[in-house]
């Protein structure tokens, strides 16, 4: 992806929020709470700085990494297509389709993005905040971004609350200062709840080996299966541990590194229930 991806108001807004949260947390709240020169202050500032750096790294990787292009030489697997035609719900997920907009075949789990104007491998959604699609090659970075942002927001919320509680408001509490602490607390709590909810959602998707698009497709597929007296299970949901390793990698220590994607293959073929049964 080109650097022009950064020429976006939402991306500028994300950097602005990151910088603002970092500044008030480290240089105002921690300093006012225990002091940056104390051991507790140094430890908290070091932890928060590490989270902030990991958050920025994940954000940059998510913005700059191409989500995944369909290989020009891609040809649908006829055997998989004939298998998928036996059951309508599986057909919706497994069978390779032809994209009229790209005038080419697209692999399973691939969708056309109207914003990017091309098909994306294992597309989850188009994210306004990274000015990019979230797909096969940058989904891990996107997940790490949410993870570190959530932990950082919770950490900052705890610092705000701790700082507020230890103050003697009878002597040092002025109305503007109280409003400032209240505003910071509400902002960090709102960020924590919002990001935490998003994190929980994507943990659910990862453990079921789904994308956001596939989740909503699965609702309709389950409804169609129920009408036919059949049961439906997402065909790429093979087991919780395997689902996680397919997205984050087999090495647990590398789950938290947004640039560690050596476990990813071509983004065209994926193990299914059929392969493991």
Is 99 among the residues known to form the active site?
no
b vs e for 223-262, b when ≥16 Cβ sit within 10 Å of the residue's Cβ?
A: eebeeeeeebebbbbbeeeebbebbbbeeeebbebbebbe
Angle among Cα 137, 261, 130 to the nearest 5 degrees reads 40
More confident residue, 133 or 75: 133
Residue pair 136/67 in contact (Cβ under 8 Å)? The answer is yes
Query: Could you give the CA distance from residue 35 to residue 29 in angstroms, rounded to a whole number?
Result: 9
Sign of CA dihedral 181, 184, 188, 194: positive
Query: Could you give the CA distance from residue 185 to residue 171 in angstroms, rounded to a whole number?
Result: 21
Q: Return the residue matching tokens 């009229």.
A: 100
240: left (phi over 0), alpha (psi -120 to 50) or beta: alpha
Residue pair 52/152 in contact (Cβ under 8 Å)? The answer is yes
Q: What pLDDT is stored for residue 274 in this prediction? A: 77
* Residue 94's pLDDT band (cuts 50, 70, 90): very low
Give pLDDT tens digits for 15-69: 999 999 999 999 999 998 999 999 999 999 999 999 999 999 999 999 999 999 9
* Residue 2's pLDDT band (cuts 50, 70, 90): low
Q: What pLDDT is stored for residue 27 in this prediction? A: 95
Average pLDDT, the chain: 89
163: left (phi over 0), alpha (psi -120 to 50) or beta: alpha
Domain residue spans of the chain = 3-67+130-275
Give the pLDDT mean for 234-263.
Answer: 95
Tell whether pTM > 0.85.
yes
Give the pLDDT mean for 101-114.
Answer: 92
Give pLDDT tens digits for 151-163: 999 999 999 999 8
3-class state of residue 189 by DSSP: helix
Query: Could you give the CA distance from residue 80 to residue 76 in angstroms, rounded to a whole number?
Result: 8
Eight-state DSSP code of residue 136 = T
More confident residue, 87 or 106: 106
DSSP code per residue over 210-252: --HHHHHHHHHHHHHHHHTT-----TT---HHHHHHHHH-S-G
Neighbours of 189 (CB within 10 A): 16
Helix axes 240-248, 175-207, angle to 10 degrees: 110
Retrieve residue 241's tokens.
């541990």
Query: Could you give the CA distance from residue 133 to residue 127 in angstroms, rounded to a whole number?
Result: 6
Give pLDDT tens digits for 209-239: 999 999 999 999 889 888 888 888 899 999 9
Choose, from 53, 116, 119, 127, the residue flagged as catalytic. 127
Query: Could you give the CA distance from residue 249 to residue 69 in angstroms, rounded to a whole number?
Result: 21
- What percentage of residues in the chain have a pLDDT greater than 70? 89
Q: What pLDDT is stored for residue 165 in this prediction? A: 85
3-class state of residue 116 by DSSP: coil
With CA atoms as reference, report the closest residue to 96 among 117, 114, 110, 113: 110
Q: 119 pairs with which residues across the strands? A: 112
More confident residue, 173 or 11: 11
Query: Could you give the CA distance from residue 255 to residue 268 in angstroms, rounded to a whole number?
Result: 22
Residue pair 148/140 in contact (Cβ under 8 Å)? The answer is no
Q: What pLDDT is stored for residue 268 in this prediction? A: 93
């Amino acid at each position: 992806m080109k650097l022009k991806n950064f020429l976006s108001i939402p991306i500028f807004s994300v950097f602005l929020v990151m910088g603002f949260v970092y500044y008030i947390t480290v240089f105002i709240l921690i300093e006012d709470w225990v002091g940056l020169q104390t051991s507790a202050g140094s430890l908290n500032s070091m932890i928060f700085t590490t989270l902030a750096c990991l958050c920025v790294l994940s954000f940059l990787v998510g913005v700059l990494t191409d989500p995944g292009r369909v290989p020009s030489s891609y040809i649908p697997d006829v055997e998989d297509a004939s298998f998928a035609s036996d059951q309508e719900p599986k057909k919706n997920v497994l069978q390779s389709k032809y994209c009229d907009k790209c005038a080419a075949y697209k692999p399973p789990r691939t969708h056309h993005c109207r914003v990017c104007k091309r098909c994306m491998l294992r597309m989850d959604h188009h994210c306004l905040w990274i000015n990019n699609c979230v797909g096969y090659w940058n989904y891990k970075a996107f997940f790490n971004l949410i993870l570190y942002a959530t932990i950082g927001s919770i950490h900052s919320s705890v610092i705000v609350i701790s700082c507020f509680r230890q103050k003697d408001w009878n002597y040092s509490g002025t109305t503007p200062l109280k409003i400032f602490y209240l505003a910071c607390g509400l902002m960090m709590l709102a960020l924590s709840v919002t990001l935490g909810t998003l994190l929980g959602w994507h943990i659910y998707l990862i453990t079921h080996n789904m994308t956001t698009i596939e989740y909503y497709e699965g609702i309709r597929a389950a409804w169609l299966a129920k009408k036919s007296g059949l049961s439906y299970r997402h065909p790429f949901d093979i087991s919780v541990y395997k689902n996680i390793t397919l997205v984050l990698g087999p090495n647990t220590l590398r789950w938290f590194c947004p640039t560690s994607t050596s476990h990813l293959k071509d983004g065209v073929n994926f193990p299914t229930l059929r392969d493991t049964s």
